Amino acid sequence: MAGCSSGPAPEAPPASPPMAPLLPPRPGSLPLDTVDPCALLSPAQVAQLGTAPPKKTEATNQPGRYHCTWSNLPAEPEDSWIASTELDHGAEYFLNSRTRITAVAGFPAVEAYSGLGRPDDNCMLLVDVAPGQSLKASYIVSEASHPGITHQYACQQATRVAEMMVSNLRTLVGNR
């Protein structure tokens, strides 16, 4: 039949470009499966920070998981650092509109507010050290102890300690 041509077959829509990774690539993999977060700072580093040895506490709602706190309390001004290992989530899991991508010792990291106290009083870094795992390093103080403290200053303190922790982690699990 003339005029009843179905014409050329419609073209398939172009394939979607591959999604870009949410974080830059990490320089290696430092698995946290067997790492004790309290071993992430050496005694010399603890002395440099002017804190007491770490206090190990079981994580709420995560039996068998621990976080470690290094604090100089009751000294003033107070300074506290907390480390924990996130074995179920890489740092990208924590990305949202209130976080910022940064780097710690060459590893991609997410900078966030920990949810404790005022946002200016603390900073939490989630360092993407292995697939599906991140090292959480936080700095927490009170404004009363540090009048005029800013989130930027808190993040500088968190970054300083996170860099020490990543360096020690390289030694603990082998430089991969």
pTM: 0.83
H or E element: which one contains 122?
strand 122-130
Is residue 28 packed enough to be buried (19+ CB in 10 Å), middle (13-18) or exposed (0-12)?
Answer: middle
Q: What is the pLDDT of residue 11?
A: 52
The span from the CA of 104 to the CA of 86, in Å, is 16
End-to-end CA, the chain:
70
For 96-130, how does the pLDDT look when each residue is reduced to its tens digit (9 = 90+)?
888 999 999 999 999 987 666 666 778 999 999 99
Q: What is the pLDDT of residue 13?
A: 47
Q: Is 22 helix (H, G, I), strand (E, B) or coil?
A: coil
Helical residues (DSSP H) of the chain, grouped into ranges: 43-49, 151-173
Q: What is the pLDDT of residue 125?
A: 96
Q: Which two tokens stand for residue 152?
A: 């930027």
> Tens-digit pLDDT profile for the chain (176 aa)?
555 544 444 454 445 444 445 899 999 999 999 999 999 999 999 999 999 899 998 877 777 778 999 998 888 888 899 999 999 989 999 998 889 999 999 999 999 876 666 667 789 999 999 999 999 999 988 767 778 888 898 899 999 999 999 999 999 987 55
Q: What is the pLDDT of residue 19?
A: 47
Q: What is the pLDDT of residue 91?
A: 94
